[in-house]
């Protein structure tokens, strides 16, 4: 989507605020012994209260309102009977639509105390996203996002999952530009333009390089090689003054 009018930006900010509030409320409600289905139910109730519709359910018939991925699961985890436990790494990804506008956000959370290295991975994952967002703006190269994130990851000794990319969003959950790498690339000449709406969502890892499906279902993705992975995601708008982040709670 390319925003050309203030009412479009207002509509995007509204759904952005809703998905951000939903994700933060779900994270605050997490506790050991809760199933991921129960956690998803909290998200569903919050979205319904705002009149918003789950984007993965409506777009892809995903069997849940939100994606909840625990520990070895790194993305697209299906809410179910899995019980959360102290020390778990939980990724919550919330995307929804309202009045024709879509927004997408996600973050990884530690449930209670975890190993210092995992806590550091979470902090650095959020920083990697922020570094990518700093590259967003009118006439800037799309490849600058992944190149900047890649330089940060390499300096800190991390790897990046290289087949889960950022993407355009706004009038649909996934739209052009459909593949925005959050890892270093060469030869991508595409540039951002004023009003372009996209996500920035690096998957930072301590060894993982690819997302692969498992034997259990057609949705849940795992790291190959097996390693801890965190994801942080905002929906942003490229402008002449840089990025506007619309997935902000409030």
3-state DSSP assignment of residue 169? coil
DSSP state string for 47-72: HHHTT-EEHHHHHH--SSSSEEEETT
Q: Is 104 annotated as a binding residue?
A: yes
Q: Which fold has domain 6-245?
A: Creatine Amidinohydrolase (3.90.230)
pLDDT value, residue 52: 98
Closest CA to 47 of 21, 76, 29, 86: 21
pLDDT value, residue 216: 78
Q: Is 8 annotated as a binding residue?
A: no
DSSP 240: T
- For 117, counting Cβ atoms within 10 Å of its Cβ (0-12 exposed, 13-18 middle, 19+ buried), the class is exposed
pLDDT value, residue 164: 97
d(CA 18, CA 129): 20
d(CA 226, CA 218): 19
> Between 6-29 and 36-49, two packed helices, what is the crossing angle to 10 degrees?
150
d(CA 200, CA 247): 11
Q: Are 92 and 76 in contact (CB under 8 A)?
A: no
d(CA 63, CA 118): 29
Q: Is 174 annotated as a binding residue?
A: yes
Q: Are 237 and 230 in contact (CB under 8 A)?
A: no
**Token digits for 97?**
């639509």
Structure-token match 């996209």, residue found: 198
Q: Is 201 annotated as a binding residue?
A: yes
Q: Is 138 annotated as a binding residue?
A: no
pLDDT value, residue 214: 82
DSSP state string for 67-116: EEEETTEEE-PPPSSPBP-TT-EEEEEEEEEETTEEEEEEEEEE-S---H
Regions of the chain with pLDDT less than 70? none
pLDDT value, residue 3: 98
3-state class percentages of the chain: helix first, strand second, coil last, to nearest 5? 30, 30, 40
Q: What is the pLDDT of residues 62-78, one digit of tens each?
A: 999 999 999 999 999 99
pLDDT value, residue 51: 98
Q: What is the pLDDT of residues 123-180, one digit of tens each?
A: 999 999 999 999 999 999 999 999 999 999 999 999 999 999 999 999 999 999 999 9
3-state DSSP assignment of residue 171? coil
């Amino acid at each position: 989507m390319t925003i050309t009018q203030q009412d479009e930006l207002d509509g995007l900010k509204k759904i952005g605020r809703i998905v951000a509030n939903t994700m933060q409320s779900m994270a605050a409600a997490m506790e050991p012994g809760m199933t991921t289905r129960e956690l998803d139910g909290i998200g569903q109730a919050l979205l319904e209260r705002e009149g918003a519709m789950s984007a993965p359910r409506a777009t892809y018939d995903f069997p849940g309102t939100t994606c909840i991925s625990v520990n070895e699961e790194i993305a697209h985890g299906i809410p179910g009977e899995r019980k959360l436990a102290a020390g778990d790494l939980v990724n919550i990804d919330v995307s929804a639509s309202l009045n024709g506008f879509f927004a997408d956000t996600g973050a990884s959370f530690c449930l209670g105390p975890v190993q210092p290295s995992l806590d550091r991975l979470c902090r650095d994952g959020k920083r990697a996203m922020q570094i990518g967002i700093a590259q967003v703006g009118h006439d800037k190269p799309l490849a600058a996002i992944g190149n900047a994130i890649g330089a940060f990851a390499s300096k800190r000794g991390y790897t990046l999952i290289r087949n889960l990319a950022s993407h355009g969003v706004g009038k649909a959950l996934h739209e052009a530009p459909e593949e925005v790498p959050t890892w270093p690339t060469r030869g991508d000449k595409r540039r951002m333009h004023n009003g372009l709406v996209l996500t920035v969502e690096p998957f930072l890892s301590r060894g993982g390089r690819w997302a692969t499906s498992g034997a259990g279902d057609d949705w849940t993705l795992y790291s190959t090689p097996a390693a801890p992975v965190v994801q942080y995601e905002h929906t942003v708008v490229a402008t002449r003054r840089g990025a506007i982040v619309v997935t902000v709670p409030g």
